[in-house]
């Protein structure tokens, strides 16, 4: 396991599962490319009693053929025929009973791809687990897949034979900045934290993408070669990403594309209006699937106003795709390098850094020395009119100790200097917030910047400062 970067919490949970004296049904899910298979392979060092990987978009006949060949290889016996999934699980049961030992590890990777329409896979698996597997105290059965919605609905929240049967659930999140830096160093990529942060804004903490970086090239050169060169390694990543996760990808893409246009996200009724999709249970499931798959998040409005909740695109690659790749792929192989001082890129870095901060709340709380204080994260917006000014605060930390951190976020190449005009804007935001929310809590204006705030006569209004370096803390 020495090759695993991060994943301490997941390893600790797997250790506990392996120490249990009852059968274990472990669910492992998370965004595609996040490293689920790698974690399980490394943790068990490839020592499985049986491992089978589903194949994308293959018929049930082909899946069963692959299963038969794989089981023949593991058992050392020539299995001639398996006509359906019930027979497949009978054959697996026979094999495991013949080779019983202290612990038996079975790993089904990309299980959602096995469950083709009318395949009978899920009922067969239910029967296998309920009639035999759950009683085998030495059996550890791991199911894994990128289609988080399938694993959630069919296994975790199953209302039939698998109801409440799983014993352990692992949701793999992307690397944080600290883990990303460790991973890059393990591959001899030694970049400044400024460059690592910009890389994170494009790729997030997705190990598969990070693995493609060439240590002999600059960040800009890597982005050009991976995303903008013709037939580059990630030239069709967007289509593959959504096609392999969602059988009807078009409405999902409609949703994320509309969300990509809105900095502050969209309410449900706005998604309906902008996409033309009907407001029904199907839309509810699609939004939940996107959330479970790590592509969107639900932003709470300050004061827990449920009707003000907004869905926001939070997958870095998808945001980058709609902003830059979709309309520019193949036009200029040095597109990203030529965008260095482009205003559009500067605006994008500012917005993306806001998302980075939202994804590193634990590190922010640690720097504020409130890691142990119960808190709620939200946003706030006051729409202006001709008689009064509006205001927006993108990150609010409302604490149990009756203190509220109002966070302003700025991504710059140097220290951030507060001008007279910006000082007035900040004071206006605080006053409008007080008036609109009627809060009696203590307000702390908190600046989160790249390299800190330049001292001048306006900087004393800031109560707390957090720098980019602080986001690289490894608390998670």
Q: Where are the domains of the chain?
A: 8-172, 177-235+329-354, 238-323, 360-472
Is 178 buried (19+), middle (13-18) or exposed (0-12) by CB count in 10 A?
buried
C-alpha to C-alpha distance for 280 and 297, rounded to whole angstroms:
19
Reply yes or no on whether the pLDDT at 475 is more than 60: no
pLDDT at 306: 62
Helix axes 193-203, 177-186, angle to 10 degrees: 100
Name 197's Cβ contacts closer than 8 Å, sequence gap at least 6: 177, 353, 356, 450, 468, 471
pLDDT digits (tens, 9 = 90+) for 226-249: 999 888 889 889 999 998 888 889
Name 259's Cβ contacts closer than 8 Å, sequence gap at least 6: 265, 266, 271, 296, 311, 312, 313
Q: Which residue is it, tokens 């140097």?
A: 414
Reply yes or no on whether the pLDDT at 59 is more than 90: yes
Is 416 buried (19+), middle (13-18) or exposed (0-12) by CB count in 10 A?
buried
C-alpha to C-alpha distance for 18 and 21, rounded to whole angstroms:
8
Q: What's the rounded mean pLDDT across residues 143-156?
A: 85
pLDDT at 389: 64
- In the CATH hierarchy, which top-level class contains the domain 238-323? mainly alpha
CB atoms within 10 A of CB 336: 24
Per-state percent for the chain, helix, strand, coil, to nearest 5 = 45, 15, 35
- What band does 394 get if pLDDT is binned at 50, 70 and 90? confident
pLDDT digits (tens, 9 = 90+) for 20-34: 999 999 999 988 899
pLDDT digits (tens, 9 = 90+) for 91-123: 999 999 988 778 999 999 999 999 988 999 999
CATH code for the part of the protein at 360-472: 3.40.1350.10
- What band does 329 get if pLDDT is binned at 50, 70 and 90? confident
Reply yes or no on whether the pLDDT at 135 is more than 60: yes
CB atoms within 10 A of CB 370: 17
pLDDT digits (tens, 9 = 90+) for 238-295: 999 998 888 889 999 999 999 999 988 999 999 999 999 999 999 999 999 999 889 9
For residue 18, which of 132, 94, 102, 100 has the smallest C-alpha distance?
Answer: 102
pLDDT digits (tens, 9 = 90+) for 343-354: 999 999 999 999
% of residues, the chain, pLDDT over 70: 96
Among 109-123, 387-401, 443-457, 459-473, whose mean pLDDT is lowest?
387-401
Q: For residue 251, give both structure tokens.
A: 């409405």
C-alpha to C-alpha distance for 425 and 392, rounded to whole angstroms:
11
Q: What's the rounded mean pLDDT across residues 400-413?
A: 95
C-alpha to C-alpha distance for 394 and 299, rounded to whole angstroms:
10
Reply yes or no on whether the pLDDT at 476 is more than 50: no
Q: What's the rounded mean pLDDT across residues 137-146?
A: 93
Contact of 43 with 28, CB cutoff 8 Å: no
C-alpha to C-alpha distance for 40 and 29, rounded to whole angstroms:
11
Residues paired with 311 in a beta bridge: 266, 298
pLDDT at 151: 86
Q: What's the rounded mean pLDDT across residues 187-215?
A: 97
pLDDT at 91: 96
Contact of 222 with 232, CB cutoff 8 Å: no
Helix (H, G, I), strand (E, B) or coil at 389: coil
Reply yes or no on whether the pLDDT at 185 is more than 60: yes
CATH code for the part of the protein at 8-172: 3.40.50.300
Q: φ and ψ at 168, to 5 degrees? A: -155, 135
- What band does 139 get if pLDDT is binned at 50, 70 and 90? very high
Reply yes or no on whether the pLDDT at 36 is more than 50: yes
Top-confidence residue, 85 or 1:
85
Compute and round to an integer the Cα radius of gyration of the chain. Answer: 25
Reply yes or no on whether the pLDDT at 446 is more than 50: yes
The rounded mean pLDDT for the chain is: 92
């Amino acid at each position: 396991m020495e090759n695993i970067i991060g994943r301490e919490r997941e390893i600790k949970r797997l250790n506990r599962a392996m120490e249990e004296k009852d059968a274990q049904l472990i669910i492992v899910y998370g965004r595609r490319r996040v490293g689920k298979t790698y974690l399980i392979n490394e943790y068990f060092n490839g020592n499985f009693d049986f491992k089978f990987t589903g194949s994308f978009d293959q018929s049930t006949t082909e899946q069963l053929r692959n299963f038969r060949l794989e089981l023949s290889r593991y058992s050392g016996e020539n299995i001639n025929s398996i006509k359906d999934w019930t027979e497949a699980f009978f054959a697996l049961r026979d094999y495991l009973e013949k080779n019983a030992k202290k612990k038996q590890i079975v790993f089904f990777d990309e299980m959602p791809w096995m469950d083709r329409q009318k395949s009978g896979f899920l009922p067969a698996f239910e029967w296998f687990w309920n009639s035999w597997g759950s009683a085998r105290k030495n059996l550890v059965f791991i199911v894994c897949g990128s289609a988080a919605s399938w694993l959630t609905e069919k296994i975790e929240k199953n209302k039939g034979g698998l109801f409440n049967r799983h014993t352990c659930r692992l949701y793999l999140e992307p690397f944080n900045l600290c883990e990303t830096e460790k991973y890059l160093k393990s591959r001899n990529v030694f970049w400044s934290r400024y460059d690592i942060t910009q890389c994170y804004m494009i790729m997030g903490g997705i190990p598969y993408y990070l693995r493609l970086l060439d240590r002999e090239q600059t960040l800009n050169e890597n982005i050009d070669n991976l995303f903008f060169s013709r037939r580059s390694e990630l030239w069709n990543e967007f289509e593959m990403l959504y096609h392999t996760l969602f059988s009807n990808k078009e409405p999902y893409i409609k949703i994320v594309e509309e969300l990509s246009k809105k900095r502050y996200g969209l309410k449900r009724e706005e998604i309906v209006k902008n996409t033309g999709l009907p407001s029904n249970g199907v839309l509810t499931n699609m939004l939940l699937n996107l959330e479970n798959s790590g592509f969107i998040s639900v932003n709470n409005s300050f004061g827990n106003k449920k009707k003000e909740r907004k869905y926001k695109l939070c997958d870095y690659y998808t945001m980058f795709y709609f902003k830059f790749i979709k309309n520019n792929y193949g036009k200029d192989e040095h597109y990203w390098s030529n965008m260095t001082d482009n205003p559009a890129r500067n605006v994008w870095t500012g917005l993306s850094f806001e998302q980075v901060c939202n994804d590193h709340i634990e590190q922010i709380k640690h720097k504020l020395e409130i890691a142990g204080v119960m808190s709620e994260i939200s946003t706030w917006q006051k729409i202006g009119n001709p008689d009064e000014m509006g205001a927006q605060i993108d990150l609010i930390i409302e604490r149990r100790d009756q203190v509220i951190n109002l966070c302003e976020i700025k991504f710059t190449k140097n220290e951030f200097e507060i001008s007279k005009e910006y000082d007035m804007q900040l004071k206006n935001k605080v006053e409008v917030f007080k008036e609109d929310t009627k809060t009696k809590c203590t307000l702390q204006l908190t600046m989160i910047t790249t390299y800190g705030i330049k001292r001048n006569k306006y900087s004393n209004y800031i109560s707390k400062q957090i720098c980019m370096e602080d986001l690289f803390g490894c608390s998670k």
